[in-house]
Amino acid sequence: MTSSPQQPRPELSLSASLDEAKVLIVGITAGADSTPELSGDAVLGADVAAEIVARLAAVGAKGKAEELTRIPAPDSLPVSSVLAVGLGKADDVTPEQVRKAAGVASRALSGVESAASTLGAFDLGAAVEGHYLGAYTFTAYKSAKSAPKPGEGPLAKIALLVADADKEAATTLARSAAIAEAVATARDFVNTPPSHLYPAEFAQRAADLGLAAGLAVEVLDEKALEAGGYGGIFGVGKGSSRPPRLVRLSYSGGVGEKAPKVALVGKGVTFDTGGISIKPAAGMENMTSDMGGAAAVVATVVLAAKLRLPIDVIATVPMAENMPSSTAQRPGDVITQYGGTTVEVINTDAEGRLILADAIVRACEDEPDYLIETATLTGAQLVALGNRTPGVMGSEEFRDRLARISQEVGENAWPMPLPAELRKDLDSKVADLANVSNNRFAGMLVAGTYLKEFVADGVQWVHIDIAGPAYNTSGPFGYIGKGGTGVPVRTIISVLEDIAHS
């Protein structure tokens, strides 16, 4: 086993002064006369704010969304410079725009030890999340030759400027920092290379996190999976020399028999070659992200415990490596999913739904009220919705509820249908089901239709396809860097909070 890499995390605090800051971050909006307008007057004072605005206007700052302008600080301030970040028109500022602006500012201040920010004047929670996630870096596998030198690392300390650091502000800071930390944990998992994060190692790290948070932990190895009838997980994993696992993490925060119970399931394919139905070589290295759903679920159940939500949450997380070998499952093989459904494996690259089906059946044995499952499942998700918009399917009322909440927190899941006519395309000539349909249309919806077959009656469930949103292969934007994004941690925890308090 390898040790879990410890990555630098920013230190966030509330402050009414600039005493320890090297740089002041201010949020500016676009004024009606094309001049910037400054937030944070209550902390900075009207005279200082006016001087900063005048200097920004002199160098052409407009306050456009995510526009960065850095100027020397007024002599009256104990900082060397001011970094202004645009928020767009004042009437259009949303929490997500604050989150993006904070992220852009944190990324721009790499190499700066400490900064103070006025962005909390718009939305404190969003500013905390944006600053924290914008400062995220992953350098665990860089040697001294290429690792950041002293003074070149990420922004280390961020003080959110508030006129009065009352109990409500402190609570907001603590909650938002915990959420951002969970997102960063999911990112760490996704960014860890498959050479170092294989099923047994992933299971151990998840178990360690669970135990540290006071969760009940159960781990099934390959022998237990085969003996227990988990044909999907065992079948996908048997082509690899690094055998599969199933991890169960249970948080009991509910009070009384009527406390809501939520099941979480996440796809944990630590690397996906496609198996015998092998993928093209180009871009295959990005399949290190094929456990993004599992990473999000593990991070979220631990977060639920840290936030002490008054509900019960049980995460069931299948982990496997999909490799081609003499022991790998073949196209045309028939497996038996946990619970007894037989499946003809037509395409071994449609492996995620096989391990998820086992986990869904097992999760439903706990008789949950709700089941949230997420996976980097289909390339069809990117075709339909692009690389930043998750598709969500499932029970219509719960699907729409989750999509609405996801859009509110900036992860922007979009509701998709599960047309009844797609089911017949999964009929098999030799088994109960085939794992893919016989045409190339509606691939995301077909996968959701397959998973629906394994959800117990009466359970409100959703499937979130994050094939694109879980991993950013392009340049940084907002509070998202290259690599793992941590989607959909913020969506799931917000849904859990909504369930807990409804």
Instruction: Give CA 434 to chain center in angstroms.
Output: 30
CA dihedral for 398, 404, 406, 411, sign (positive or negative): positive
353 part of the active site: yes
Instruction: Give CA 265 to chain center in angstroms.
Output: 14
> How far is residue 432's CA from residue 195's CA, in Å, rounded to a whole number?
36
CA distances from 185 to 37, 144, 299 (A): 36, 23, 6
> How far is residue 390's CA from residue 386's CA, in Å, rounded to a whole number?
8
Instruction: Give CA 273 to chain center in angstroms.
Output: 23
What tokens appear for 1 in the block?
A: 């086993």
Nearest to 499 by CA among 369, 332, 362: 369
Whether the link from the prior residue into 488 is cis, omega within 30° of 0, is yes
Helix (H, G, I), strand (E, B) or coil at 159: strand
Task: Give 284's DSSP letter.
Answer: G
CA dihedral for 189, 194, 200, 204, sign (positive or negative): negative
AA identity, residue 117 = S
CA distances from 495 to 214, 312, 438 (A): 22, 13, 35
> How far is residue 297's CA from residue 495's CA, in Å, rounded to a whole number?
13
> How far is residue 392's CA from residue 264's CA, in Å, rounded to a whole number?
14
Nearest to 401 by CA among 492, 309, 300: 492
Neighbours of 208 (CB within 10 A): 14
167 part of the active site: no
What tokens appear for 423 in the block?
A: 């089911």
> How far is residue 208's CA from residue 205's CA, in Å, rounded to a whole number?
5
Q: Which of 22, 353, 399, 401 is catalytic?
A: 353
Q: Which of 64, 89, 157, 279 is catalytic?
A: 279
Q: Which residues are catalytic?
A: 279, 353
